[in-house]
Chain A
């Protein structure tokens, strides 16, 4: 049994069980954090500040690539594993949960595309009415993705804890769930993951993940901070 499942701000649940889902919860925290900040950035950034407006789509693209990578790995690796385990055990309720996960991923993609095209359109053609529409779209992304993440944390992780043992999950994380990103995104990913997370939680994660993570975090921190600060220049500290 994993002794103390991580429960981060905004997280819906941390079902007990043998697998350590800390990295998944940290990723979810990052998605929630970003989706609280983007609508505020769009709402508050003055149109005259062209540098910040140019940085926002680049920062959105980092968020979107990390989310796409996360969903892609779940669709290609995690859900098939759970589907097979649940089918073998005759766990029909679990199979329904896994199907719902894949369907929810598909329903989020068009919203992400709409948010990006709205943001890019706003950069090219600043307009107050369009600004409100982009804020509205990003809030909808936050709500829909929030429902999905909560559903996953409550129900899909419960299935995972029921059907996957701790060693199997650790091996899967080590061999299949890491990597897959380009070098630049890989370097920015860890600073993105740990942003606004309690330092004690970060330290615990770094101790468990080994020296390689500390090196990656140090290498990527400057690049990520520059991009993040350029995009969220006008977002106040409580959200930032």
Chain B
């Protein structure tokens, strides 16, 4: 699955209205650590197919970034049924992000 770009315009529909968990990578072109995290998220998007992965450019979409008080980049927020359930502020290695996300995997009986 690919990482989809979202913006102020479609954030509510794509993220808050989703029926699956959605990760939003708040990033900016000038943010070096964001460039370290982006390929990790692209890999995880392939592996964790029960989750939707999105990216939001805070310069192009400042309203959403302000609404969620994003002050450090990158910030990864995960929403389930429109509710914020996980926040990771700053770059983290792949295994850390992976281990946090799998705790949100839907239970299969």
Name A's B-contacting residues (CB within 8 A).
Answer: 103, 106-108, 110-111, 114, 133, 136-137, 139-140, 143-144, 146-147, 150-151
6 residue pairs A–B, Cβ–Cβ below 8 Å: A107-B72, A111-B90, A114-B96, A137-B95, A143-B33, A144-B90
- A107-B90, A110-B90, A144-B90 in contact; A133/B95 too (CB < 8 A)? yes
Q: Judging by beta carbons under 8 Å apart, are A103 and B92 in contact?
A: no
Contact present for A143 and B72 (CB under 8 Å): no
Q: How far is the CA of A120 from the CA of B91 in the complex (A)?
A: 21
A147 to B96, CA, bound (A): 20
Tell me the complex Cα distance, A60–B30, Å: 30
A168 to B: closest C-beta gap in Å: 30
Q: Is B36 a contact partner of A106 (Cβ separation < 8 A)?
A: no
Residues of B within 8 A of A144 (CB): 32-33, 36, 90-91
Say yes or no: is B71 at the interface (Cβ < 8 Å to chain A).
yes
**Nearest Cβ on chain A to B14's Cβ, whole angstroms:** 26
- Total interface residues in chain B, CB < 8 Å: 13
Chain A hits for B92, CB < 8 A: 110-111, 114, 140
Q: How far is the CA of A8 from the CA of B71 in the complex (A)?
A: 32
Chain B, 31-86, CB within 8 A of any chain A CB = 32-33, 36, 71-72
The reply on B89 being an interface residue by CB < 8 A is: yes
B33 pairs with A107, CB closer than 8 A: yes
With A and B bound together, what is the CA distance between A110 and B88 in angstroms? 10
Q: Are B93 and A106 in contact (CB-based, < 8 A)?
A: no
Contacts A103-B71, A103-B72, A107-B72 known; A136 to B33 CB distance under 8 Å? no
The answer to whether A136 touches B93 (Cβ under 8 A) is yes
Nearest Cβ distance between residue A28 and chain B, in whole angstroms?
Answer: 15
A147 to B72, CA, bound (A): 14
Instruction: Determine if B94 is an interface residue (Cβ-Cβ < 8 Å).
Output: yes
B36 contact set on A, CB distance < 8 A: 140, 143-144
Given A111-B92, A144-B90, 12 more A-B residue pairs with CB atoms under 8 Å apart are: A111-B90, A133-B95, A136-B95, A137-B93, A137-B95, A140-B92, A143-B32, A143-B91, A144-B91, A146-B32, A147-B32, A147-B33
